Structure 1
């Protein structure tokens, strides 16, 4: 139910849905001054979320604190945990299903870290009922990248579940300080979830959204689908951070409270 609630919030309040709903409400109330203001605000917000400068500005606070670990930091780790990000269905070239593009970026970097360190990799990703766990497809990709030592965490449905169930696997294997591989913008929420699960992680960010150094030419103010997606990912994280903070006031993140795999995992947060 909580997963559904987060998804419902994301579906209705994040761009492009949120600004569009605002604009439509404004059109329905157009005969009132407040309605006209709402309509204009909705259109303006949709435009702003669709241009690169706004997308990069939203991403910056999430990503800036983290850098890929160097060798002196890597020697402190004893495992690698890579978080899933969702499926890509209809992949006929891969027997019908595989990981999505966000997950592929994370898995590639996890494989790079494995080759540099030789550490075992935990692929963390569950599934909806009746569906293959994401960890299965993650492990398949990791093997293609040359990773031989793979553990599967296949019960989680969201970032909090990733942390809780990965923590259990780490304890069972006698591992204490993993490299945490996920997108840079996802790290603030992911690190908090692992800390609440009692695991000290070493951030290993990948896939950062960095603005090209081409100045502020007129072209950067042209709406783009890629910028809208970037804004959606950033706003999804801000919403998720607040959501987890609210939940943690009422229920501590302990393995006993871990979600059971009865629904699908969140998309693009990521997890």
Structure 2
């Protein structure tokens, strides 16, 4: 597991879109310096064209929409026995520095817990999230969640799992903390783009959960419309591309049984 975790972080350091644009720029400048004029100019022009396109259009929608639309919202009248909330929306180091819980764009995962606790007062709730950082693993999302839930008066209601470094470990550690796969209907709360991989991982462990997707990004199928904003558009591409790479890596390593997990077919009685 350590090798998978470390290799995945190393690969993404070089492959993430913002870094890739920097590598293109550096390689273009190096090519000009050593006299490879045609290659250098091609790389620099390509880099500039990509930046302009990303600055003007939310091209990440084309990658994001198939992920976010994969699972529908659950029936709000479902009987719910338990709720699993995956971390990823916490800014753990910033929370320690400023002495209060800090969240990022995926903070809706954590913020939804009080709502669900009120909506399903008898359901068990478990938050799973540690640190995905190689450089600063001591700062954990579970600690941020605990501080937030304590302030919301829910400290005794929610179990906290704080050792997971990725989604596969979320599933393994959650099942271990619960003493095995529990019976009943459990919700899985995570970002909509992250739901296919998450469901696939828990499904591989023999646990079929009801998806409760949150934190949506895409507003179109292809992103071919004007919406200026370099940082926002590049961030969406990075998040979506990382998720597609994660889906492929988890499928090839046997952590999921499908490349793009989706809803199970309805039973024949329901289909009729």
Query: Which digits, 9 at most, give the CA deviation of each residue in 1:32-58, with x for residues without a partner?
Result: 434433333333333334444302222
Indicate the larger mover: 177-186 or 107-116: 107-116
- In structure 2, relative to structure 1, the CA distance for the partners of 1:88 and 1:152 (3 Å cut) is closer
Gaps of 5+ in 1: 254-271
Whichever of the two has the greater Rg, that structure is 2
Equivalent in the alignment of 1:183: 191
Alignment of 1:69-108 (within 5 A): 69-72=74-77, 74-75=78-79, 77-85=80-88, 86-91=90-95, 94-95=98-99, 98-108=101-111
- 1:197 deviates by 1.7
Q: TM-score, normalised by structure 2?
A: 0.77
Count of aligned pairs between the two proteins: 243
- 1:176 deviates by 4.7
Equivalent in the alignment of 2:243: 237
Indicate the larger mover: 233-242 or 48-57: 48-57
Equivalent in the alignment of 2:29: 27
Query: In structure 2, what is the Cα distance between the partners aligned to 1:199 and 1:153?
Result: 18
SS of the residue 1:71 aligns to: coil
- In structure 2, relative to structure 1, the CA distance for the partners of 1:165 and 1:101 (3 Å cut) is same
Tell me which of 8, 11, 14 is aligned to 2:10: 8
Are 1:117 and 2:120 matched, yes or no?
yes
Equivalent in the alignment of 1:135: 142
- 1:146 deviates by 4.8
Equivalent in the alignment of 2:60: 55
1:22–1:39 contact (8 Å) kept in structure 2: yes
SS of the residue 2:73 aligns to: coil
Equivalent in the alignment of 1:153: 161
- 1:84 deviates by 0.8
Indicate the larger mover: 80-89 or 35-44: 35-44
Query: Which digits, 9 at most, give the CA deviation of each residue in 1:115-165, with x for residues without a partner?
Result: 111212101012478725422321332343454521121221111100111
- 1:78 deviates by 1.6
Tell me which of 41, 48, 63 is aligned to 1:43: 48
- In structure 2, relative to structure 1, the CA distance for the partners of 1:71 and 1:227 (3 Å cut) is same
- In structure 2, relative to structure 1, the CA distance for the partners of 1:199 and 1:49 (3 Å cut) is farther
- 1:173 deviates by 8.0
Gaps of 5+ in 2: 257-272
Equivalent in the alignment of 1:261: none
1:26–1:38 contact (8 Å) kept in structure 2: yes
1:176–1:199 contact (8 Å) kept in structure 2: no
**Could you say what the CA RMSD is over the residues aligned between the two structures, in angstroms?**
2.8
